């Protein structure tokens, strides 16, 4: 290497040192600076420009290594004239090579951010959104449920098809049934439709006129059920005006239900075991099925019409059996109870205190008021024809009864379990000891 090149290199190194503010060493600015070693310690070397060639070559690996580790230590090349010249290109290339890696890693880091942010909606969307329950239920503000809220199948044939609901899979508390699902009219609910635990009230669609059928073993025929399935927490059901019969079986938490104006039939066990507190029977009803309101232990008020539109409504057996909160009842005259097949209509209504049978009422059926321990007053109409067996059995609070002269049959045991009572019949008074006389005189069995 020529002397001119050496001098130029030394001057360049000195200029770099002065610019870096490193010329405050006790020796000249060409003296060695602290150098970072491979073992993590700091070393200081002092050399002169007249140093031997061997020392220059020995320092070359050290300066090359230090330049690769940190570009800030590249000024340590002043320890040797040759090291200054040769180590700078290496240091420069190493810095340039490191930039793409740093840039690449920065790119990867920045590109990962959108992935992180995009995952948030997925996390939030996995949580079910529960419809807030309004303080006062206003069905006009409840949106109609969508296709996505139900599992259903399409039935029918080429001429006529319909949607058949099998399960509710939404999360709303109040469900307004759509009139169509999958483009087909909803006319049928499976009798085991699962409504889930979130549903509190259901408004049925007008087109949904019946559910699956059940076998009426008494008559050997299949009949529509008009139930709405398994709804353990439903407290209210709104029935469409076009329904003519209803039976909401197994809804033990039901507290409120409307009866359409055109309702003609309340089916067997229609509301048995529910939490209904009051019931108003429309005058359009023609049949009240067996045990329709049996064991409704919250039921305290039952309103019948003064008369039925058809002139006759048939009431079957055990309709109000076990309704322990009913205190009084007035039965219309055209309410028909078949003497031979119906019994126990108000059996074990233990709070019932007063009964009025309106003019035209024909039969007090067997066990009609059996076990009504609070019953004190019974008003029987003229024209009454029969009083069935055990009709007032165990009515321990009933102390007097006036039987109309129109009664032609008084069956056995009507006052079994009762004491201290009197009966007036045919102008005569009887008590617990001798009332058997009128039984023997009238009973045909």
Assign residue 259 the CATH number of its domain: 3.80.10
The per-residue pLDDT for 218 is: 59
Pull the structure tokens for residue 198: 């979130």
The per-residue pLDDT for 4 is: 55
The per-residue pLDDT for 378 is: 97
The mean per-residue pLDDT over the stretch 395-418 comes to 94
From 74, 97, 120, give the residue that closes a domain.
97
pLDDT tens, residue by residue, 90-116: 433 333 444 444 444 434 433 333 333
What is the domain count for the chain? 2
Portion of the chain with pLDDT greater than 90, in percent: 46
pLDDT tens, residue by residue, 110-167: 333 333 333 333 434 444 444 544 555 899 999 999 999 999 998 877 777 888 888 9
The mean per-residue pLDDT over the stretch 219-226 comes to 52
Is 90 exceeded by the pLDDT of residue 47?
Answer: no
Is 131 inside any structural domain? no
Check whether residue 75 and residue 196 sit in a common domain.
no
Is 105 inside any structural domain? no
Domain span at 60: 3-97
The per-residue pLDDT for 3 is: 58
Check whether residue 420 and residue 272 sit in a common domain.
yes
Mean pLDDT rounded to a whole number for the chain: 74
Check whether residue 61 and residue 166 sit in a common domain.
no
Pull the structure tokens for residue 56: 């220059």
Beta partners for 290? none
The per-residue pLDDT for 14 is: 52
Is 140 inside any structural domain? no
Is 141 inside any structural domain? no
Check whether residue 305 and residue 430 sit in a common domain.
yes
Q: Which residue has the tokens 């009025």?
A: 356
Contacts of 92 (CB under 8 A, 6+ apart): none
Is 148 inside any structural domain? no
Is 153 inside any structural domain? no
The per-residue pLDDT for 42 is: 38
The per-residue pLDDT for 128 is: 46
Check whether residue 31 and residue 164 sit in a common domain.
no
pLDDT tens, residue by residue, 325-382: 999 999 999 999 999 999 999 999 999 999 999 999 999 999 999 999 999 999 999 9
**Counting beta carbons within 10 angstroms of the beta carbon of residue 96, is it exposed (0 to 12), middle (13 to 18) or buried (19 or more)?**
exposed
The per-residue pLDDT for 249 is: 73
From 48, 74, 97, give the residue that closes a domain.
97
| Residue 225 contacts residue 191 (beta carbons within 8 Å) | yes
| Residue 395 contacts residue 401 (beta carbons within 8 Å) | no
From 50, 81, 97, give the residue that closes a domain.
97
State the Cα–Cα distance between residues 388 and 314, nearest whole angstrom.
17
The per-residue pLDDT for 7 is: 58
Is 50 exceeded by the pLDDT of residue 411?
Answer: yes
Check whether residue 188 and residue 88 sit in a common domain.
no
Check whether residue 355 and residue 284 sit in a common domain.
yes
Check whether residue 377 and residue 291 sit in a common domain.
yes
Check whether residue 83 and residue 177 sit in a common domain.
no
Confidence of residue 244 (pLDDT cuts 50, 70, 90): confident
The per-residue pLDDT for 251 is: 83
Strand bridging mode 265-266 / 287-288? parallel
Is 60 exceeded by the pLDDT of residue 245?
Answer: yes
Check whether residue 350 and residue 427 sit in a common domain.
yes
pLDDT tens, residue by residue, 272-329: 999 999 999 999 999 999 999 999 999 999 999 999 999 999 999 999 999 999 999 9
Contacts of 137 (CB under 8 A, 6+ apart): 174, 201, 236
- Identify how many contiguous H helices and E strands the chain contains and give both numbers: 4, 29
Is 150 inside any structural domain? no
Beta partners for 165? 152, 189
Check whether residue 92 and residue 162 sit in a common domain.
no
The per-residue pLDDT for 444 is: 65
Check whether residue 238 and residue 327 sit in a common domain.
yes
The per-residue pLDDT for 436 is: 85
| Alpha carbon separation from 435 to 85, 134, 404, 413, 418 (Å, rounded) | 138, 60, 15, 10, 12
Is 139 inside any structural domain? no
């Amino acid at each position: 290497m020529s002397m001119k090149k050496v001098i130029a290199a030394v001057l360049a190194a000195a200029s770099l040192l002065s610019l870096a503010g490193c010329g405050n060493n006790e020796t000249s600015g060409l003296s060695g600076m602290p150098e970072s070693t491979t073992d993590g310690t700091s070393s200081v070397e002092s050399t002169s420009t007249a140093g031997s060639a061997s020392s220059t070559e020995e320092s070359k690996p050290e300066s090359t290594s230090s330049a690769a580790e940190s570009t800030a230590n590249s000024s340590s090349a002043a320890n040797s004239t040759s090291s200054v010249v040769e180590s700078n290109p290496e240091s420069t290339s190493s810095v340039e090579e490191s930039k793409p890696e740093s840039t690449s890693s920065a790119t990867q880091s920045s590109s990962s951010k959108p992935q992180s942010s995009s995952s948030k909606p997925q996390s939030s969307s996995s949580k079910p959104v529960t419809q807030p329950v309004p303080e006062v239920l206003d069905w006009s503000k409840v949106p109609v449920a969508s296709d996505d809220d139900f599992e259903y199948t399409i039935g029918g044939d080429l001429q006529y098809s319909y949607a058949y609901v099998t399960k509710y899979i939404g999360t709303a508390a109040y469900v307004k049934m759509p009139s169509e699902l999958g483009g087909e009219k909803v006319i049928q609910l499976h009798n085991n439709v699962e409504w889930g635990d979130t549903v509190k009230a259901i408004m049925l669609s007008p087109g949904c006129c019946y559910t699956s059928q059940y076998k009426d073993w008494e008559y050997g025929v299949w009949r529509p059920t008009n139930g709405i399935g398994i709804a353990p927490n439903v407290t209210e059901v709104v029935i469409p005006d076009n329904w003519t019969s209803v039976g909401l079986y197994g809804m033990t938490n039901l507290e409120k239900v409307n009866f359409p104006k055109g309702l003609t039939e309340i089916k067997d066990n229609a509301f048995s075991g529910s939490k209904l507190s009051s019931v108003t029977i429309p005058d359009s009803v023609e049949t009240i099925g067996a045990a329709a309101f049996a064991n409704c232990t919250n039921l305290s008020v039952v309103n019948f019409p003064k008369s039925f539109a058809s002139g006759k409504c048939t009431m079957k057996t055990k309709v109000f059996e076990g309704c322990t909160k009913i205190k009084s009842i007035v039965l219309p005259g055209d309410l028909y109870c078949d003497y031979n097949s119906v019994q126990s209509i108000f059996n074990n209504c233990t709070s019932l205190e007063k009964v009025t049978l309106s003019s035209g009422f024909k039969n007090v059926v067997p066990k009609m008021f059996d076990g009504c321990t609070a019953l004190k007053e019974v008003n029987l109409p003229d024209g009454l024809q029969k009083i069935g067996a055990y009709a007032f059995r165990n009515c321990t609070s009933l102390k007097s009864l006036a039987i109309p002269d129109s009664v032609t049959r008084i069956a056995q045991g009507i006052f079994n379990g009762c004491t201290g009572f009197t009966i007036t019949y045919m102008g005569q008074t009887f008590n617990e000891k001798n009332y058997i006389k009128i039984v023997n005189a009238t009973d045909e069995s």
